[in-house]
Amino acid sequence: MERCAARRAPEEERRVRANAREYNEKFQYASNCIKTSKYNIVTFLPVNLFEQFQEVANTYFLFLLILQLIPQISSLSWFTTIVPLVLVLTITAVKDATDDYFRHKSDNQVNNRQSQVLIGGVLRQEQWMNVRVGDIIKLENNQFVAADLLLLSSSEPHGLCYIETSELDGETNMKVRQAIPVTSELGDTGKLAGFDGEVICEPPNNKLDKFGGTLYWKENKYPLSNQNMLLRGCVLRNTEWCFGLVVFAGPDTKLMQNSGRTKFKRTSIDRLMNTLVLWIFGFLVCMGVILAIGNAIWEHEVGVCFQIYLPWDEGVHSAFFSGFLSFWSYIIILNTVVPISLYVSMGSVTLTPSVEVIRLGHSYFINWDKKMYCAKRRTPAEARTTTLNEELGQVEYIFSDKTGTLTQNIMVFSKCSVNGHSYGDVQDVLGPKAELGERPEPVDFSFNPLADPRFQFWDPSLLEAVKLGDPHVHEFFRLLSLCHTVMSEERSQGELFYKAQSPDEGALVAAARNFGFVFRSRTPKTITVQELGRAVTYQLLAILDFNNIRKRMSVIVRSPEGKIRLYCKGADTILLERLHPLNQDLSNITTDHLNEYAGEGLRTLVLAYKDLEESYYEDWAERLRRAGSAPEAREDRLARLYDELLGATAIEDKLQQGVPETIAILTLANIKIWVLTGDKQETAVNIGYSCKMLTDDMTEVFVVTGHTVLEVREELRKAREKMMDASHSTANGFSYQEKLSSSKLTSVLEAIAGEYALVINGHSLAHALEADMEVEFLETACACKAVICCRVTPLQKAQVVELVKKYKKAVTLAIGDGANDVSMIKTAHIGVGISGQEGIQAVLASDYSFSQFKFLQRLLLVHGRWSYLRMCKFLCYFFYKNFAFTMVHFWFGFFCGFSAQTVYDQYFITLYNIVYTSLPVLAMGVFDQDVPEQRSMEYPKLYEPGQLNLLFNKREFFICIAQGIYTSVLMFFIPYGVFADATRDDGAQLADYQSFAVTVATSLVIVVSVQIGLDTGFWTAINHFFIWGSLAAYFAILFAMHSDGLFQMFPNQFRFVGNAQNTLAQPTVWLTIALTTVVCIMPVVAFRFLKLDLKPELSDTVRYTQLVRKKQKTQHRCMRRVGRAGSRRSGYAFSHQEGFGELIMSGKNMRLSSLALAGFAARPSAGWIETLRKKKGSDAGSPDKALKV
Amino acid sequence: MKNKTSCLPQEAGARPSRCPDNSAFKQQRLPAWKPQLTIATVLSSFFLTGAFCLSVGICLILSANSIREFQINYSDKCSECSKLRENTSNWNKECHCSVNFTLKEDMLGDVFMYYGLQNFYQNHRRYVISRSDAQLLGQNVNIEKSYCAPFTTYQNGTPMAPCGAIANSMFNDTIDLFYNLNSSVVQVPLLKTGNSWWTDKNVKFRNPKSDNLSSAFAGTARPPYWQKPVYLLDEEDERNNGYVNDDFIIWMRVSAFATFRNLYRRVERVKQFVNGLPAGNYTFHISYNFPVTKFKGRKHVILSTVVWSGGSNPFLGIAYVVTGTAATLMGFVITAIHLKLRKKKTYFQK
């Protein structure tokens, strides 16, 4: 791919002239050739090796290898190091090579795609990589766009064309692009060949939704916007052909500019491991120094006299120098204590033996989990990152988006307020009956042949108003049918399909459609609406779409009668400010209605219109044209318009299935849930109540809405004071005990009695997040059980997550579904994307994805908990076995003149970690379970050890190390005691070096196998196979290595010939092995049992009850059957969504949560939530006691 | 449980289903044995282990009691010889000494004679590797490439056979045993073959192929500390000469620790020694060649009988008894703690 040009200095401004290759070449813009591959055949080996040796671990291996090649130092054969090194290097290289091969392949495929380029007035087939900036290319339907193009003309009228952008932003709906009118007439190649316009625009950037530039043609200026651009990666749809001018090519395109590398996330265990590895390294050096000093002294005292039999090596003239050499020799043989193979996996994505395999296995279990598969959306859960699994077991804070995450993001037109009259209430008439699911008949829309049969509305009065011809209602629906960006598609007569960018809009247009104002079709300049059976075509003068700042959208249309009218819909805060002051009464009533709707958790929009004078419009249009030439500023200038009130709409945002239960369980698991939403405060608070984040049991819900720094500070201070007061007045011993028991407490505030919640507004949050107040805010917020931040921007979401990450040493998880959650998902330790309706940007940025919020409890409480448990057990055992293995050399050093003689055969050293002990611990790391999955849902407290980091921390690490050292001591000194002066049963010498080596190695393998057997709590067939298989493999390999055949082929390599059969035939040897095993294992068993008996963990208790229950099977089975029958009935009831929705809506004069709770309690299965809540209440004081069964 | 999501049958539609398989493996529902430490298993394992260890330990101690062992340190008893050997220039001067001793009891059964060395670091790294197994297998190899240095070749280039520090430092005292029976002196018949491992003798060591041994070793020289070349180690027995000499093989099997004993001879059970060595007065005639004083070493000669568990080493028996006692005690302690705790538990529950 040498044709792909190298990078140049960043440009300030881009100038492109159509059909002028020579002119454009001056600027040396990148060609359309892309290169994502890293190597070619020649450079692969050196470049790849260079990259690999930049890894600390690989370099360390190489360093050891070089040490081993020095004969004076070499205490081990070179292959003990080179085998793992080559293994790691080869596997990584093969992986890199395959990856790169596929990148080459896809590069080639993309670069060689054909496109039609207009060269010299003729269309020529060219490969994509030969397309240059300034070329005009022709695209046909369903083709990929080759580069970022300025749309010039298309087959559709008015230069319209349709594109699908799923490759760019993941959104599957179609989008419209339009050529500017002057170029849209350039329909044939002849005219286009003569086109010599020049585009001056912004330099390449990665903003997908923005473009600013100007076209200079025939002495005229034309503003260009994103609406005129076709971006690389889009697909042309529903358009026969179009022509475009290449503006950005290859690496400069927005698609390529966006393909940044994702940040590599590390788990807290990774970070702990890094520290531990350093400590171990220090320990290694210490051991090396001790032994080196020992060597120097020994050589000085003993070795000197022993020189007649064993002269010093050439070049060694002093005991001191000998000690120096022996230091390095010991570094080589003791290096197995440094879990460098673990370190490799931490430092990079390099494939490594154990940890990576375990994590990969856990990821597969997540992907395979049927209980996290959503049948409706046909999406299984997906672990997109394989390196974070165990951190799922340590989460303390969850930051959740509301829309699409807690709620379904299915929008239903639910209520509306027109001219001060509210429609859509049904509860008033029917009363509590509605709760039982006996609904009235939905409104009959059969009068309208174009009605969408799926649309349902319950209040007949609105349809009556339409039929009676209420002008306000008509105008209301006219607005809904005109003011939107929905695309319609009429597949056959009367069969309309809408493609909406946001589900809210879709719901509104669908409502208008059913009430007789059917949006039929649109062109860029017209909208055709079927108004109560009569087709009316409006001339579309302008669309001002939604954006974050304006928070409203407007259209300007000219009716067939010639009247120009501005229709606008948008956020109440923005629109109500801009209303004509004369309508204050109506405005007040509507505001009341709006508050009422928001109180029910509905999403509201305010509708308004304004008649425009012809001259006023002309004036505005002129300003628009002028403003357009200043690319950055013009969108703001169009925002200054005002409107007249028409009414308001309310859309029901349906709660997702299982959200309240999930939140209840996660809260019981001591996970704090913060909701960060862009929605308004009332909506957010109500969703908070309906999903049980906020409850009436709460002592107080603090609301922070201050507009200034002082107000916010004051409000936060008051909240803190209240909590402090309460905790002092109800002070009981428990709060202090809690404080003492948890090491994580940073302030007194956390020891607060009572439950509080905090609701904070976006503008207050902006102040609260400032450097001088953030700690105050965080302390207040963390003292609360639930935190809701409303009206927050995507950036603030990330800031909040960052704040918690910064001050709390806690694992954070962010969950969301939309593009606005991406920053938060990327910031949190773990990002979870809901693969929902708002495109897949959140999923692409996430580490885990699934389609329903309720799966989160399974991901954390089951998968996360297991992953954490398994990883911790794995690490503990890993350190234990390596220390037990290596420290024997240290003790032996004192008996062999500190000469760095190994205890074991070199093959045993090579194979110990790779073959003899790797698979059983791997099987444990992948398959182990302490309690069955149902139990971890039943007892959310089981999740706590992970949060407190109890299973693998520095203390546990030292215990493992101590156990390893204890084992190594026995492993050396018991055979030493036995072998000294002992003889075999045939009188020959027993204590020869090789027999000693075989005895120690055999007892080591047996002891660590018994130990893994003790550690394994869940013996599947695979565990059995690996554990017994490893033992069998050890003996098989031992006998093979000590066989005659191998020795005769390589006498200098296999010196242990005949050793296995001679040594292992001795009863003394087996008695030694048995004694070593007993002495190593019995204290561990005693210790573990006593711990279990005296201070059981919750998981032990649960496990024990499991055992007891099995014995009382019959009794229990009866109970279970009852329970199950209940849950099935409730499952049906629960899936019946409307019932639940009614429940929320009915909460008018009552606090919603209590109502919802009553609803739950009415159903037999919902009782368990109550039980959990009660448990939670009772164990607020003593977390352990209450759950003891 | 409540959130059971079943894959609907309509999944088998046109598009391939993405629903995960419902296999026990993928759903982590593999049947498994879930062992748990309960009071019953723990206590039974402790008491069983305790009983086992105690019985093995007692057996070991009892059988070790029947072992008779006699050990004599002759490095001091032959002080003149040892002084002579301190000077390497006297390497070819012969020096003999005798050590008298009395066996108070009969040594019944097979009696083995060992030489023991103290403070001789056969397990030193540089010592352990200083050999060429290929050479000892009779292969014609270039020993320059082996780790034999500095005992590889002489300055004139003649290779040493065998090479290396181990071979060079071979124990070369000759020890004969005489039985003083009523003023007549009977030499105790000693077997010098059959003392090494079968695999060592038949697989690991082999003489170079040739018509006779001296020609097989032509062109090589003895190691510097040896008095005679390798093909003269045992002139009487062709099958015990050269590399396959038992004394040599046993020396080449280096010991694990700096104090060790190597089997030297077995008493042949003929005539009056058919039941072993009778009690009485004996004399060791030692041809003293191996210097130990330089490195503060000690030399022993040892006579011993063996039982099923080998020679006399009380360690294993005592260790088993101690372990058995500890395990049993631990069992009682656990029982006590458990009982005490259970009382507490019921108290709490009420």
For A25-40, write each residue's pLDDT tens digit. Answer: 888 888 888 887 778 8
Tokens, residue A332: 């080589």
Which chain B residues in 101-120 lie under 8 Å from chain A, judged by CB atoms?
A: 110, 112, 114, 116, 119-120
DSSP state, residue B33: B
Label residue A368 by pLDDT band (50, 70, 90): very high
A243: CB partners within 8 A, 6+ apart: A118, A136, A137, A138, A139, A151, A152, A153, A154, A186, A192
Tokens, residue B161: 């056979």
B260 and A1067 within 8 Å at the Cβ level: the answer is no
ipTM: 0.94
A672-708 confidence digits (pLDDT tens): 999 998 777 777 887 787 787 887 778 888 888 888 8
A1019: CB partners within 8 A, 6+ apart: B32, B33, B34, B35
Q: Nearest by CB to A369, from B20, B42, B309: name it.
A: B20
In angstroms, rounded to a whole number, what is the distance separating the alpha carbons of residues A1089 and A1100? 11
Please tell me which residue, A585 or A908, carries the higher pLDDT value: A908
A165: CB partners within 8 A, 6+ apart: A171, A175, A231, A233, A234
B107 interaction partners in chain A (CB closer than 8 Å): none
The reply to whether B53 and B155 lie within a common domain is: no
Q: Which one of A310, A1056, A1057, A1106 would you mutate to disrupt binding with B, by most B Cβ within 10 Å of its Cβ?
A: A310
B341 touches chain A (CB under 8 A): yes
The segment with the largest mean pLDDT, out of A396-400, A765-769, A1121-1125, B236-240, is A396-400
In a domain, B212, yes or no: yes
> Has residue A790 got a pLDDT over 70?
yes
Asked if residue A832 lies in contact with residue A811, where contact means CB atoms within 8 angstroms, the answer is: no
Q: Among residues A107, A252, A401, A504, which one is catalytic?
A: A401
A658 and B311 within 8 Å at the Cβ level: the answer is no
In a domain, B19, yes or no: no
Q: How many residues does chain B have?
A: 350
The reply to whether B47 and B142 lie within a common domain is: no
> Has residue A634 got a pLDDT over 60?
no
The reply to whether B186 and B318 lie within a common domain is: no
Q: What is the mean pLDDT of chain A?
A: 79
Size of interface A-B (CB pairs under 8 A): 311
In angstroms, rounded to a whole number, what is the distance separating the alpha carbons of residues A777 and A765? 9
Neighbours of A1096 (CB within 10 A): 15
The segment with the largest mean pLDDT, out of A122-126, A361-365, A526-530, is A361-365
Please tell me which residue, A240 or A880, carries the higher pLDDT value: A880
In a domain, B337, yes or no: no
CA distances from A243 to A30, A149, A230 (A): 21, 9, 10
Calculated CA dihedral for residues A1045, A1048, A1052, A1054, nearest 10 degrees: 10
Backbone φ, ψ for residue A417 (5° rounding): -125, 115
> Has residue A636 got a pLDDT over 50?
no
Number of H helices, E strands in chain B: 10, 11
The reply to whether B73 and B61 lie within a common domain is: no
> Has residue B265 got a pLDDT over 70?
yes
B82 touches chain A (CB under 8 A): no
Q: Of the candidates B52, B110, B94, B162, which has an alpha carbon nearest to the alpha carbon of residue B277?
A: B110
Label residue B344 by pLDDT band (50, 70, 90): low
Q: Nearest by CB to B42, from A368, A1089, A1107: name it.
A: A1089
In a domain, B135, yes or no: yes
Label residue A20 by pLDDT band (50, 70, 90): confident
In a domain, B114, yes or no: yes
What pLDDT score does A640 carry? 52
What pLDDT score does B16 carry? 60
B226 interaction partners in chain A (CB closer than 8 Å): none
> Has residue A713 got a pLDDT over 50?
yes
A380 and B18 within 8 Å at the Cβ level: the answer is yes
Which residue type occupies A563?
K
Asked if residue A1071 lies in contact with residue B35, where contact means CB atoms within 8 angstroms, the answer is: no
> Has residue A117 got a pLDDT over 70?
yes
B33 and A329 within 8 Å at the Cβ level: the answer is no
Q: Nearest by CB to B334, from A897, A927, A1090: name it.
A: A1090
Q: Which one of B26, B34, B38, B292 would you mutate to disrupt binding with A, by most A Cβ within 10 Å of its Cβ?
A: B34
Neighbours of A1183 (CB within 10 A): 18
B266 and A1019 within 8 Å at the Cβ level: the answer is no
Could you tell me the residue range of the domain that residue B54 belongs to?
41-67+314-331
Asked if residue A625 lies in contact with residue A821, where contact means CB atoms within 8 angstroms, the answer is: no
The runs of H, that is alpha helices, within A335-399 are 340-347, 354-368
Strand blocks (E) in A511-614:
517-522, 526-531, 534-544, 552-558, 564-570, 602-612
3-state secondary structure A507-531: HHHHHHHHCCEEEEEECCCEEEEEE
The reply to whether B186 and B324 lie within a common domain is: no
The reply to whether B124 and B163 lie within a common domain is: yes
What pLDDT score does A1087 carry? 93
Q: Nearest by CB to B309, from A373, A933, A985: name it.
A: A985
Can you say whether the dihedral through the CA atoms of B237, B239, B240, B243 is positive or negative?
positive
At A346, is the secondary structure helix, strand, or coil? helix
The reply to whether B179 and B190 lie within a common domain is: yes
Q: In the predicted model, what is the mean pLDDT of residues B210-217?
A: 85
Which residue type occupies A177?
R
Domains of chain B: total: 2
Asked if residue A390 lies in contact with residue A871, where contact means CB atoms within 8 angstroms, the answer is: yes
In angstroms, rounded to a whole number, what is the distance separating the alpha carbons of residues A990 and A999? 11
Q: How many residues does chain A have?
A: 1189
In a domain, B83, yes or no: yes
Q: Which one of A858, A936, A983 would you mutate to disrupt binding with B, by most B Cβ within 10 Å of its Cβ?
A: A983
DSSP assignments along A137-155, one per residue: EEEETTPBP-SEEEEEEES
A993 interaction partners in chain B (CB closer than 8 Å): 122-123, 128, 253-256
In angstroms, rounded to a whole number, what is the distance separating the alpha carbons of residues A605 and A486? 17
A401 in catalytic set: yes
Please tell me which residue, A602 or A397, carries the higher pLDDT value: A397
Number of H helices, E strands in chain A: 46, 33
A1074-1101 confidence digits (pLDDT tens): 999 999 999 999 999 998 888 888 888 8
In angstroms, rounded to a whole number, what is the distance separating the alpha carbons of residues A478 and A515? 10
B266 and A987 within 8 Å at the Cβ level: the answer is yes
A309 and B165 within 8 Å at the Cβ level: the answer is yes
The reply to whether B149 and B222 lie within a common domain is: yes
Asked if residue A812 lies in contact with residue A801, where contact means CB atoms within 8 angstroms, the answer is: yes
At A579, is the secondary structure helix, strand, or coil? strand
Q: How far is CA A335 from the centre of its chain?
A: 36
Share of chain A above pLDDT 70, in %: 83
A1107 and B38 within 8 Å at the Cβ level: the answer is yes
A1093 and B39 within 8 Å at the Cβ level: the answer is yes
B6 interaction partners in chain A (CB closer than 8 Å): 375
B90 touches chain A (CB under 8 A): no
Q: In the predicted model, what is the mean pLDDT of residues A551-558?
A: 82
In a domain, B268, yes or no: yes
What pLDDT score does A987 carry? 83
In a domain, B17, yes or no: no
In angstroms, rounded to a whole number, what is the distance separating the alpha carbons of residues A742 and A733? 15
Q: Nearest by CB to B5, from A373, A979, A987: name it.
A: A373
Q: In the predicted model, what is the mean pLDDT of residues B214-242?
A: 88
- Each as own residue / partner, the long-range contacts of residues A1149-1153 (CB below 8 Å, 24 or more positions apart, any chain) are A1151/A689, A1151/A696, A1152/A601, A1152/A686, A1152/A689, A1152/A690, A1153/A689, A1153/A690, A1153/A692, A1153/A694, A1153/A695, A1153/A696
C-alpha angle A407-A409-A415 in degrees, rounded to nearest 5: 95
> Has residue A157 got a pLDDT over 50?
yes
A1090 interaction partners in chain B (CB closer than 8 Å): 334, 337
What pLDDT score does B237 carry? 87
B4 and A1131 within 8 Å at the Cβ level: the answer is yes
What pLDDT score does A25 carry? 84
Asked if residue B282 lies in contact with residue B57, where contact means CB atoms within 8 angstroms, the answer is: no
What pLDDT score does A449 carry? 81
**Per mean pLDDT, which range of A79-83, A885-889, B223-227 is the poorest?**
A79-83
B329 touches chain A (CB under 8 A): no
The reply to whether B78 and B139 lie within a common domain is: yes
What pLDDT score does A864 carry? 94
In angstroms, rounded to a whole number, what is the distance separating the alpha carbons of residues A994 and A1059? 7
Q: How far is CA A1008 from the centre of its chain?
A: 37
**Per mean pLDDT, which range of A412-426, A919-933, B80-94 is the poorest?**
B80-94
A927 interaction partners in chain B (CB closer than 8 Å): 28, 30, 32
Tokens, residue A654: 């349906």
3-state secondary structure A761-810: CHHHHHHHCCCCCHHHHHHHHHHCCEEEECCCCHHHHHHHHHHHHHHCCC
A983 and B112 within 8 Å at the Cβ level: the answer is yes
What pLDDT score does A1004 carry? 96
* CA distance, residue A737 to nearest chain B CA (Å): 19
Element (H, E) at A247: strand A241-248
A38-87 confidence digits (pLDDT tens): 788 888 888 888 887 777 777 887 888 888 888 888 878 777 777 777 87
Which residue type occupies A1182?
S
What pLDDT score does A38 carry? 79
B254 and A993 within 8 Å at the Cβ level: the answer is yes
B291 interaction partners in chain A (CB closer than 8 Å): 308
* CA distance, residue B96 to nearest chain A CA (Å): 22
- Each as own residue / partner, the long-range contacts of residues A1044-1051 (CB below 8 Å, 24 or more positions apart, any chain) are A1044/B199, A1044/B203, A1047/B133, A1047/B203, A1047/B204, A1048/B137, A1048/B203, A1051/B133, A1051/B134, A1051/B136, A1051/B137, A1051/B139
Which chain B residues in 145-174 lie under 8 Å from chain A, judged by CB atoms?
A: 146, 149-150, 165, 168-169
> Has residue B345 got a pLDDT over 90?
no
Tokens, residue B210: 């040739």
Q: Which one of B29, B124, B169, B335 would you mutate to disrupt binding with A, by most A Cβ within 10 Å of its Cβ?
A: B124
Label residue A1019 by pLDDT band (50, 70, 90): very high
Which chain B residues in 187-246 lie under 8 Å from chain A, judged by CB atoms?
A: 195-200, 203-204, 225
Q: Are strands A830-834 and A848-850 parallel, antiparallel or unpaired?
A: parallel
Element (H, E) at A45: helix A41-52
Q: In the predicted model, what is the mean pLDDT of residues A792-804?
A: 87
Q: Nearest by CB to A977, from B1, B253, B315: name it.
A: B315
Asked if residue B337 lies in contact with residue A1090, where contact means CB atoms within 8 angstroms, the answer is: yes
Residue that is written with structure tokens 């440094």 in the block: A338
The reply to whether B84 and B196 lie within a common domain is: yes
A634: CB partners within 8 A, 6+ apart: A223, A624, A627, A628
The reply to whether B100 and B88 lie within a common domain is: yes
Neighbours of A97 (CB within 10 A): 15
Which chain B residues in 30-59 lie under 8 Å from chain A, judged by CB atoms?
A: 30-39, 42, 45-46, 49, 53, 56
What pLDDT score does A1144 carry? 27
A1048 and B165 within 8 Å at the Cβ level: the answer is no
At A848, is the secondary structure helix, strand, or coil? strand
Q: Which residues are A131's β-sheet partners?
A: none
B257 and A976 within 8 Å at the Cβ level: the answer is yes
In angstroms, rounded to a whole number, what is the distance separating the alpha carbons of residues A421 and A590? 8
Tokens, residue B129: 């590797």
The reply to whether B145 and B291 lie within a common domain is: yes
Instruction: Classify burial at A261, counting beta carbons within 10 Å of its beta carbon; exposed 0-12, middle 13-18, buried 19 or more.
Output: exposed
A1071 and B34 within 8 Å at the Cβ level: the answer is no
When computed from its CA atoms, the radius of gyration of chain B, rounded to whole angstroms, is 32
> Has residue B55 got a pLDDT over 90?
yes
In angstroms, rounded to a whole number, what is the distance separating the alpha carbons of residues A489 and A506? 13
B255 and A976 within 8 Å at the Cβ level: the answer is no
